[in-house]
Amino acid sequence: MSETSQTQATQEPSVLTVQDAYGVLLERFPGQVRMDERQGYEGVLIEADSLLDVASFMRDQLGIRYLSSVTGVDNLPNGQLESVYHAFAGLGPALVFKVQVDRDRPEVPSLVSVWPSADFQERESYDLLGIRYIGHPNLQRILTWEGFHGHPLRKDWHEPYYEEELKPFASRHPDGHVYRAEDRNPFGMNLQYPSDFDPHNWTDIAQAAVYQPLQRTALESRLETETMVINLGPQHPSTHGVLRVVMAVDGETVVDLMPVFGYLHRNHEKIGERCTFPQIMPYTDRLDYICSMSTNLAYALAVEKLTGIRPPERAEYIRVIMAELTRIVNHLLAIGFLWNDVGAFFTPVVYAFNERELILDLFEMAAGSRMMCNYVRVGGVFEDLPDGWMEKARRLVYDRLPRFVDEYERLVVQNEIWRARAIGVGVLPAERAIAVGATGPLLRGSGVPYDIRRVEPYSIYDRFDFDVAVRFNGDVYDRFMIRFDEMRQSLRILRQAMEQIPDGPVQTGKKNYTIKVPPGEAYHRIEAPKGELGFYLVSDGRPNPWRYHVRSTSLINLTSLAEMCRGHKIADVVVILGSIDITLGEVDR
Amino acid sequence: MADDLTHPSIKVPAEIQGTVRVATWERFYNWCRSRSVWPMMFGLACCAIEMVAMASSRFDFSRFGMEVMRASPRQADLMIVAGTVTKKMVPQIVRLYNQMAEPRYVLSMGACANGGGPFKEGYSVVSGVDKYIPVDVYVPGCPPTPQALIFGFIQLHRKIEGQTWKDYTWYKNRGHGEEIPLPILGPDLFDPRQIALIEAAAISEQANVEQAAG
Amino acid sequence: MYGMGVLKGLSVTLKHFVNTYLDDFKYGFLWIGNKRYTTEVLPKRQSAEARGIFTVQYPEEVLKPQERFRFVPFLVYEGSDENREYRCTACGICSKACPPQCIWIVRANDPETGRPLRKPAEFYVDIDICMNCGSCAEFCPFDAIKMDHDFELADYDRTLSHIHDIQRLGKPVEYYARIRPSYHASEQAEILAKADKSARAKG
């Protein structure tokens, strides 16, 4: 199908460099914008009152159309909360801007009206840190539930099993008498209640809050028929995990829809802030559990950006090989599960899992585990590839996988039923895709040739010859076909990497369970199989991060779900959801 | 697979050993039950992917008569709790368990479902699904490999084969076991059965505060 | 023609179906009597060269884990089962490196002087918390804690059996040499080289 896929090498050139952009902002908004002078930090600080003006100016005059990440930091010693934004114009590094507000009155204007991609991220920041975004259309808790006590990522909030601020805990050695944490909790479980909690008179506001934004649409609808609110999930046979989608439907047609998150919220960030930098690595496996190698890589690169450690040459190549194999695994499963959702029950998944097993054998051989690889380290990889690995991998990459990709495509691509279900369904125009912060195959399927491996090359991706796959209709079919294109490009990169890989060490410096990290902040993003995966780290010089945030691909890609589904049938919602390709571990963290 | 059906105390003549099995009715019944356990299609987290891997061709659990994964709890015998159980998800899990028909089994897959796993210390993770629903088999691992999970199924089969009619709720009461009350999402998750405990804890905490103040 | 796409897809499934049987013949899976693959054929049947679909008939056939495979940790001891000499020196690095903090060590004290000894009195791993990441084995400077291959741990109760104590964790060095031969060999070589060096330095 290569005749229909067009490839484009580069983006439109960026007009301004980031430093220029800061200069323009300082000049245009004197007194409102100042540089962030803290050591190791970058970007500008903006006064809360003028944030909306500055943001609109950036979007309309500076051409910064894509807001990638919104998060918050609790600067407890200063008594301030900080809302941190990373935005991109096209090529090049991020434009960083921050708003600092008082901890007692944390109010920041919402940027949803300027960049809709801020929607879920602002809600998350409100939920976990308690920053109130004024003007947000639906400022509710997103990962915990309405009614939950406190804001967990604030530094003075402690979980029920709280033991110590930082790991390693002193109780483990040298006098580590074992106990189970629940045995020391008065309720025998992971629970704690505020002192004014009266269980007899508790009204369950969590459920009502979920339906509330949809009931508004139900009332506004002018149709004669009654609009119904129904739930899809969290337990649902479509194989995308515990996502819950609340829909307002008119007959079979979706009027409005809202995904509800948090059913797999595992406190990744809170635990991450307790761990030392290397200890976080195995936790990142469990973020996007289908592509653990990519998440490992993204985290390692973020820490390397902060510390300045560079991995040796051979390790770079091994990382790229692993990351691209992971991309193939992910796309195989994404396609398989998507077909599962349209009704090709399990046959494509079985074939996909066959190939996946062969790749997982390679992972198990090198890293020691099938899924939770924990292979990449800061400054290298865990260990060198074992004997015979490369030979096995070559046979797969040169012979079996290219053949399988073609065969897999032949299996369903011309199937009339599938085409009827996919073509023209769930269209996302390019403009909207950028506005809602879609990344990865979702964005490129809408005709935007934006691939971080090309626009901001990391690791050694600038050495390989590959094309950025792009398709232009923005429907389910294109998003699905683009995955085949990308697998072929991945195989191309793999072949080059396998030819060029040099001998040598795979780790810089000595391995240790703590590393020295200078104070400062770093945001690093990679082109994960699902899209842009970013890690935002703030270090205060201790062995543990002060703030550890994951810019989750799947969560932000879901921002576009509602507008893609409106007007379609309920059955199409599942297909559109499948074409976005989410992993719940990453959505809820 | 049928070799173990013959009761150990019964001697079958050598010439018909290949074709004839002699067993008690109960043993035969349990043997049939253990070889047609229908699991519920219910994945929570990472382990669910290994569960799908186990269902696909390389490990293939249809060899155990389990390939009929039901999406509805009404038609399922076995709930595989595959993944981290969060506080927000517990009410749904308990409800699904209540909806399953007797005799029902629960297999807890992976460290998270067993006891909270690496995320145990977090504020919204339940320290083991057995705090809310009874679990029959625990499969350790993070995540358990498909083979480890199949070993868990074999353990479950052994358990089913070892059961007698007398000690199973369904046959005892001619009906359902007691429903487990749904936990409620309050300021933190709370179990209606624990209300007295919560109140007592609040009172003692208040006393502590007063003591500290006075 | 309408329906051709469906047929084309079905031809792929048919191909897989036929290939599976062809592979079975090719790799000596005979129809009568021989219901299982031998351990030599099993890896070939599941390699990149095989064309058909394959199944490992666990528990009769077992897919051998790779050498680096990691499940829960175990402690290596030298000597016999009754007289275990753990390599562990209770330095506590594993318990510090452990990301979910599931390792608990009580260091032994000299019963007479009360001074700490270089060996553990108690050692626990809570396998309901352990995430099989291998950090303990990776950072252990004494090669004392290693990741196990034994995945058949499913049982009916967790309250008693899922916190592994030192008795349960200990496995002989011969077992370790069997599951991780190349690691064991390289460690032995290192020890020999060190002894050689120190002997030369003395002499």
> What is the average pLDDT across A141-158?
88
Pick the residue from chain C with its C-alpha nearest to A544: C99
Report how far residue A177's alpha carbon sits from residue A168's, in angstroms, rounded to the nearest whole number.
15
Beta-carbon separation of B118 and C100 below 8 A? yes
Picking from B89, B119, B197, the nearest residue to A267 by CB comes out as: B119
Half-sphere exposure (CA, 13 Å, Cβ side) for B130?
A: 23
Half-sphere exposure (CA, 13 Å, Cβ side) for C108?
A: 15
* C72-86 per-residue burial string, b: 16 or more CB within 10 A, e: under 16: bbbbbbeeeeeebeb
**B121 plus B159 within the same structural domain:** yes
Picking from C53, C130, C152, the nearest residue to B111 by CB comes out as: C130
Pick the residue from chain B with its C-alpha nearest to A128: B123
Q: Does A191 touch chain B (CB under 8 A)?
A: yes
CA distance B68 to chain A (A): 12
Q: Does A410 touch chain B (CB under 8 A)?
A: no
**B131 plus B145 within the same structural domain:** yes
Reference B74, options B55, B91, B98; nearest CA is B98
Which uninterrupted H or E stretch holds B185? strand B184-185
**B158 plus B192 within the same structural domain:** no
**B207 plus B137 within the same structural domain:** no
Q: For chain B, list residues whose CB is within 8 angstroms of any CB belonging to chain C.
A: 57-60, 63, 111, 114-121, 128, 130, 136-142, 144-148, 150-152, 154-155, 159
Per-residue pLDDT at B138: 92
Picking from B58, B117, B147, the nearest residue to C151 by CB comes out as: B147
Per-residue pLDDT at A13: 42
Contacts with B205 from chain A: Cβ below 8 Å: 195
Per-residue pLDDT at A536: 93
Pick the residue from chain C with its C-alpha nearest to A170: C96
C residues 60-99 lying closer than 8 A (beta carbon) to A: 65-70, 90, 92-93, 95-99
Per-residue pLDDT at A200: 81
**B95 plus B141 within the same structural domain:** yes
CA distance B116 to chain A (A): 9
Half-sphere exposure (CA, 13 Å, Cβ side) for A464?
A: 28
SS3 at position A547: strand
Reference C179, options C61, C71, C67, C43; nearest CA is C67
CA-CA-CA-CA dihedral for A231, A236, A239, A243, to nearest 10:
40
Report how far residue C69's alpha carbon sits from residue A366's, in angstroms, rounded to the nearest whole number.
9
Q: What is the largest CA-CA distance in chain C?
A: 92
Pairing of strands A253-260, A244-250: antiparallel
Beta-carbon separation of B88 and A265 below 8 A? yes
**B3 plus B62 within the same structural domain:** no
What domains can you pick out in chain C, each with its CATH number?
1-64 (no CATH), 74-181 (3.30.70.3270)
Picking from C2, C99, C103, the nearest residue to A282 by CB comes out as: C99
Q: Which two tokens stand for residue C76?
A: 């290596």
Cis status of the peptide bond prior to A386, with omega within 30 of 0: no
Q: Does B154 touch chain A (CB under 8 A)?
A: no
Pairing of strands C163-164, C116-126: antiparallel
Residue B98 sits in a domain whose CATH number is: 3.40.50.12280
For A528, phi and psi rounded to 5 degrees?
Answer: -75, 165
**B100 plus B24 within the same structural domain:** no
Q: Which two tokens stand for residue A110?
A: 């919402």
The answer to whether A286 and C110 are in contact (CB under 8 A) is: no
Report how far residue C118's alpha carbon sits from residue C107's, in angstroms, rounded to the nearest whole number.
8
pLDDT at C29 over 80: no
Report how far residue C89's alpha carbon sits from residue B74's, in angstroms, rounded to the nearest whole number.
54
Please give the share of chain C, as a percent, with pLDDT higher than 70: 94
Picking from B190, B195, B201, the nearest residue to A186 by CB comes out as: B201
> What is the average pLDDT across A304-308?
89
Picking from C55, C62, C72, the nearest residue to B147 by CB comes out as: C62
Contacts with B50 from chain A: Cβ below 8 Å: 370-371
Look at phi and psi of residue A583 and say left if phi exceeds 0, alpha if psi is from -120 to 50, else beta. Answer: beta
Beta-carbon separation of A173 and C107 below 8 A? yes
Residue that the structure tokens 């560079």 belong to: A310
* Dihedral angle sign, alpha carbons of residues A35, A38, A43, A44: negative
- What does the pLDDT look like over A165-222, one tens digit per residue? 888 888 888 888 888 888 888 888 888 888 888 888 888 787 778 887 776 655 555 5
- Give the CA angle between residues A398, A402, A403 to the nearest 5°: 110
**B189 plus B178 within the same structural domain:** no
Paired residues of C123 in beta bridges: C105
Higher pLDDT, C37 or A45: A45
pLDDT at A5 over 70: no
CA distance B185 to chain A (A): 7
Report how far residue B149's alpha carbon sits from residue B162's, in angstroms, rounded to the nearest whole number.
20
Instruction: Count up the domains in chain B and report the number.
Output: 3
Pairing of strands A132-134, A107-109: parallel
Report DSSP state, residue A46.
E
**B91 plus B172 within the same structural domain:** yes
Report how far residue A474's alpha carbon sits from residue A480's, in angstroms, rounded to the nearest whole number.
10
pLDDT at A330 over 80: yes
- What does the pLDDT look like over B26-45, one tens digit per residue? 888 888 888 888 988 888 88
Per-residue pLDDT at B1: 44
For C83, phi and psi rounded to 5 degrees?
Answer: -120, 75
Beta-carbon separation of B52 and A357 below 8 A? no
**B109 plus B204 within the same structural domain:** no
User: What's the one-letter identity of residue C39?
Assistant: T
pLDDT at A522 over 50: yes
Please give the share of chain A, as a percent, with pLDDT higher than 90: 26
* Chain A interface mutation, best of B72, B81, B188, B190, highest count of A Cβ atoms under 10 Å: B188
User: Average pLDDT over chain C, rounded to whole?
Assistant: 85
Beta-carbon separation of C104 and A168 below 8 A? no
Q: Note the residue count of chain B.
A: 214
For C38, phi and psi rounded to 5 degrees?
Answer: -80, 165
Half-sphere exposure (CA, 13 Å, Cβ side) for B170?
A: 10
User: What's the one-letter identity of residue A409?
Assistant: E
Beta-carbon separation of A512 and C103 below 8 A? no
Per-residue pLDDT at A126: 92
The answer to whether A417 and A499 are in contact (CB under 8 A) is: no
The answer to whether C76 and C171 are in contact (CB under 8 A) is: yes
Q: Which domain range does residue B17 map to?
A: 1-34
Half-sphere exposure (CA, 13 Å, Cβ side) for A48?
A: 18
A residues 401-430 lying closer than 8 A (beta carbon) to C: 407, 410-419
Q: Which two tokens stand for residue C138?
A: 């990776």
Report DSSP letters for A371-394, one per residue: S----EETTEESSPPPTTHHHHHH
Picking from C53, C152, C162, the nearest residue to B151 by CB comes out as: C152
- What does the pLDDT look like over A28-79, one tens digit per residue? 888 888 888 888 888 899 988 889 989 998 888 888 888 989 999 998 888 8
SS3 at position A100: strand
CA distance C78 to chain A (A): 23
Picking from B120, B131, B186, the nearest residue to A197 by CB comes out as: B186
Residue that the structure tokens 């899990």 belong to: B93
**B2 plus B29 within the same structural domain:** yes
Per-residue pLDDT at A1: 38
Beta strands in A190-324 (DSSP E): 228-232, 244-250, 253-260
Res. A318 pLDDT band, cuts 50 70 90: very high
The answer to whether A194 and A149 are in contact (CB under 8 A) is: yes
Contacts with B43 from chain A: Cβ below 8 Å: 239, 241-242
**B77 plus B19 within the same structural domain:** no
Reference B160, options B77, B94, B98, B96; nearest CA is B77
Give chains near B: 3+ CB pairs under 8 A: A, C
Residue that the structure tokens 């054929």 belong to: C41
- What does the pLDDT look like over B50-106, one tens digit per residue? 888 888 888 888 888 888 888 888 888 899 898 899 998 899 899 989 888 878 889
Q: For chain C, list residues whose CB is within 8 angstroms of any CB belonging to chain B.
A: 46, 53-59, 62-63, 65, 71-72, 99-102, 126-132, 151-158, 162
**Cβ neighbours for B83, distance < 8 A, ≥ 6 positions apart:** A264, B43, B44, B45, B46, B47, B48, B109, B110, B112, B113
CB atoms under 10 Å from CB of C129, counted, come to 28
What was the ipTM of the complex prediction?
0.89
User: What's the one-letter identity of residue A285?
Assistant: D
* Chain A interface mutation, best of C138, C146, C183, highest count of A Cβ atoms under 10 Å: C138
Reference A546, options A554, A537, A555; nearest CA is A537
Reference C46, options B120, A355, A171; nearest CA is A355
Cis status of the peptide bond prior to A116, with omega within 30 of 0: no
Reference C147, options C63, C59, C64, C67; nearest CA is C67
The answer to whether A528 and A322 are in contact (CB under 8 A) is: no
Beta-carbon separation of B121 and C100 below 8 A? yes
Report how far residue C131's alpha carbon sits from residue C147's, in angstroms, rounded to the nearest whole number.
11
Beta-carbon separation of A242 and B189 below 8 A? no
Beta-carbon separation of A280 and C103 below 8 A? no
**Cβ neighbours for B157, distance < 8 A, ≥ 6 positions apart:** B34, B35, B37, B64
Q: Does B145 touch chain A (CB under 8 A)?
A: yes
Burial class of residue B28 (count of CB atoms within 10 Å of its CB; 0-12, 13-18, 19+): middle
SS3 at position B7: coil
SS3 at position B35: coil
Picking from B43, B127, B201, the nearest residue to A182 by CB comes out as: B127
Per-residue pLDDT at B170: 65
Point out the least confidently predicted range of A40-49, A523-532, C22-31, C158-167.
Answer: C22-31
pLDDT at C144 over 70: yes
